[in-house]
Structure 1
Amino acid sequence: MQSYGMRWVSMDDLEEAKMALKEIGTDSAGIAHMAGKGLGRGIKLEQVPLRVAHILKQEMLSLGGDAAVHRNVIVNQIEMTDIMLLGTVRQLERLSTKVLSQPFGLKQIGSDLRKLLGNLEPPKSRILNCRGKELRLGERTLIMGILNITPDSFSDGGRYNNLEDAIAQAERMAAEGADILDIGAESTRPGHLEVSEEDEWKRLEPILKTLAERVDLPLSIDTYKASVAAKALEAGAHIINDIWGLQKDPEMARVVGEYRAPVIVMHNQTETTYHHLMGDILTFLKQSIGLAEAYGLTGDQIIVDPGIGFGKTLEQNLEVMSRLAEFKALGHPVLLGTSRKSMIGKTLDLAVDERLEGTLATSILGVAAGVDIVRVHDVQENRRAVEMADAIVRGQRGVNYVGA
C-alpha cells in the first residue's frame, strides 16, 4: 500500500511558505495567493469593548477563522474582553482590510494588525548608523561584549575598574569578535548601591575617551542618567543602553534624541507583580518606544530588551525566555541579555563563574527566537555558539530543493 510520503512541513513565516510551495512546482500566482494560508497565527487584543468584540468574532468566522472571547460576551454581560484572533495569515490579512472602513475604532485595529503581521516576517538586511559607526542588522546575530568598570558588579566586579585592565579587556573582546562594546560604570545587580552622576562619569570618562581612539567598534554606554549619557555622547559614545527604558530620568529621551543616538530600552520595574506578564512588559516597552519617537528616533534606532533578571521572579524570567519571539511584534531590533544571570544560577544551582554553558543555551534560544543582539561577558564562546545557530536558523528552509 502506497504511503505517499506524508509528513509535516515546518513553516514559520511567509518566505518559508513560499519556498515550500515553489519546491512542489506551484506557479508564481498560486504561491502569492496560497502562501499565507499555511501559516497559523494567534493575535491577542486586550480590553476590547463588547460591540467591537462581536464584530471581530463575526468577521473572523466569515473568513473561516475564529476569535476566542470571554464566555460572558455571548450574553452581553461584560463590557470589555480580551480577544484571541485565530486564523491563518491570509485570513488575518483579509480581516485587517475589511475592518479598515468600519467604525468604533476598528480602523485602528486593522492598521495595527497589518503592521503586526509584517513585523512577524523575517527582517531584511539593513544598516544602522550609530553616530558614524555602522551595524548591519538582519544578516546575523550581533555580539555585544560587556565591560564593567565597577568595583561591585555581580559577575566581574573590580576586575576592570582601572584604565589599563579595562582597555586590555575591551581589546580582547574586540579581537574575539564583539560587534559592540557596552561599558557600565555603575553596577545594576539586585541590591546595588547607586552612585552619583559625578562618580559615574569620573569612572567612565578616561576609559571611554581612550577606547574611542583605540577600538574601531560602536561603544554603548550603560546608564540611566541623562547627564552621564550627554557627556558620554559628547565624548564619542555611539549608543545609550538605558535599563529603565527612558522612564526613570525624564531628560534621557531628550538627550538621545538630540544626539540622534540609537538607544536600548529595557523593561524594568521595582517589584514582580504583573496583571499579564507579557502584556505588561510589552506595554512598558511601547511607552519607552513612544518616548524615543517623540524626540525623533525611529525604527532600528530604538532597540528593545525584555529585561531578563530585572523585576521578575525565576519563573517569570523563564516564561519570558520561552516567549522571546513575541517581542518581534514591536517592530524594533531585540537585544537579549542573560549572561551569567541569576536565572541561570538558580536553575542550574551554579555560582557566577560556572554559568557559561547556561549562558550559551540562552544565547542559542535567542537566535532561534530571532533576536538581533546578545549581550555577553564571554565573547568568543558566545560568538562561536551564535554563529553555529545562525547557520541553521537564518539559513532559509527549502533553499536546497531540487525541482521547478
Structure 2
Amino acid sequence: MAADARRPRGLTLGRHTFADDATLMMAIVNRTPDSFYDKGATWAEDKALERVRHVVDEGAEIVDVGGIKAAPGAEIDAAEEIRRVASFVGRVRAEHPGLVISVDTWRAEVADAVCAEGADVLNDAWGGADPALVDVAAKHDVGIICTHTGGVEVRTRPYRIEYDDVVAAAVADCVAYAERAVAAGVDPDGIVIDPAHDFGKNTFHSLEVTRRLGELVATGWPVLVSLSNKDFVGETLDLPVGERLTGTLAATAVCALAGARIYRVHEVAETRQVVDMVRSIAGLRPPARAIRGLQ
C-alpha cells in the first residue's frame, strides 16, 4: 500500500503533528564515547543535554538520540544501551515538552524502555533486524522510521554488495517495512522511510539513491535522508570527516529538490538554510522578506 492511497494530511510523530508540506530538521545527539563524527563530545549526559539545548535554539524540530554507534566496535548489550539513553530521554522530555524525541535503535527491548520515558519516534537504522520493533511502536503509539540496508548484518560495513537496481531495492524494502508496521498497528501518519545512505551500500549506490530520491518520494511515504558527513560524501570528494560539510549540503540540496521531508543532521542551521533556499527556488516557500524593487 503506497501512502498516496491514504492521502495523509500531515505527519504525526508521537504527540506532535506537522503539516504535509513541513520540512523538519532532526539533530543528531550521540550518547556514545566513540561516535565517528564528534568523537564522544556528547558522551557525558550534561554535554548531551547542552547539545539538545543548542540544536533546539537553532530550530531543530526533532532530536535523534543514539546509544551505540553504527560502525563496528565494542559490543554494547541492550542493558547498556538502555542505561545510556532511557533516562536521558526522560530528562529531555521534561525540559523540552514540545520537542520530538527520536531514538536510534534496532532493539525492541531498548525501544520499549525509551518509549516509556517519552520518546516519540523509533529510528531503526538496520531495516527491521528486530521484527518486534514495529510491535513496540504500535504499543506506545509512536512513529517509526523504516530503512533499507540490503539485509546486511547489524553494525557491519558492506563488502562487495551488489544490486540489480539499488533504488528499486530501497523502494521495495522500505515500502514492505512500512506496510508491516501498518499491519502491526502503527499509525500510518507516523511512518517515515529512509533509503539509508551508506548502510548496505557503496559510494556509487549512495550517489544513485541521491540522484533518484524522487522515486522514494513518489511512494507517498514521507522520506528522511541521513547524509551528514557520510562516507559517500568523503569518498566522492576525497575528504576526511571534519571537512565534508560542503559536500553534505550539496547532497542535501538535491534531496530537498526531490522532496525529502526530514533531514538527520549534525549541522542544523546550515541545513535549514539550504533546504529553505531550495524550496523557495522551487516555488514551495515564499522568501522570508521581499522588499528589493518594491520600495
| Common topology (TM > 0.5) | yes
Partner of 2:49: 167
Partner of 1:156, secondary structure, is coil
- The superposition leaves residues 255-305 of structure 1 with CA deviations (integer Å, 9 ceiling, x where unpaired) of 111112110011113242223222222221122112201112243311000
| Matching residue within 236, 253, 263 for 2:134 | 253
Q: Are 1:357 and 2:252 an aligned pair?
A: no
Structure 2 distance, partners of 1:250, 1:367, is 31
- 1:163–1:206: 8 Å Cα contact kept in structure 2? no
Letter in 2 for 1:260: D
Kept in 1: contact 2:87–2:117 (CA 8 A): no
Matched to 2:54, the amino acid is: R
Q: Distance in 2 between matches of 1:227 and 1:162?
A: 23
> For residue 255 of structure 2, what is the aligned residue in structure 1?
366
CA deviations on 1:305-340 (whole Å, 9 max, x unpaired) are 001011111111111110000002322100011000
Unaligned runs of 5+ in 2: 153-157, 286-295
Residue of structure 2 in register with 1:203 after alignment: 84
- Please show how residues 120-131 of structure 1 align to structure 2 within 5 Å: 126-131=9-14
Contact 2:8 2:189 in 1 (8 A): no
RMSD: 2.1
CA distance in 2, matches of 1:318, 1:331: 22
Deviations 1:81-116 (A, max 9, x none): xxxxxxxxxxxxxxxxxxxxxxxxxxxxxxx8xx79
Paired residues of 2:12 and 2:189 also in contact (CA < 8 A) = no
Q: Are residues 141 and 284 of structure 1, via their aligned partners in 2, closer, same or farther at CA, if it must alter by over 3 Å?
A: same
State the match for 2:61 in structure 1: 179
Instruction: Give me the whole-angstrom Cα distance separating, in 2, the residues matched to 1:135 and 1:227.
Output: 28
- Report what 1:239 is aligned to: 121
Give secondary structure in 1 for the equivalent of 2:178: helix
Scaled by the length of structure 2, the TM-score of the pair is 0.88
Percent same amino acid at aligned positions?
33
In structure 1, C-alpha distance between the alignment counterparts of 2:11 and 2:136, rounded to whole Å: 19
Shift of 1:394: 4.3
Q: Secondary structure at the match of 2:221?
A: coil
State the shift of 1:129 in Å. 3.0
Q: 4+ residue runs of structure 1 moved beyond 4 angstroms?
A: none
The CA deviation string for residues 43-83 of structure 1, in whole angstroms up to 9 with x for no partner, is xxxxxxxxxxxxxxxxxxxxxxxxxxxxxxxxxxxxxxxxx
TM-score by length of 1: 0.65
Q: Which amino acid aligns with 2:64?
A: D
Residue from 3, 8, 24 that aligns with 1:142: 24
What per-residue deviation string (whole Å, max 9, x for no partner) do you get for residues 153-208 of structure 1? 1111310011110000110000001011111111013x344410001011112321
**Matched residue count:** 277
Say if 2:160 is the partner of 1:278: no
Q: Which has the larger radius of gyration?
A: 1
CA contact 1:131–1:261 (8 Å) conserved in 2: yes
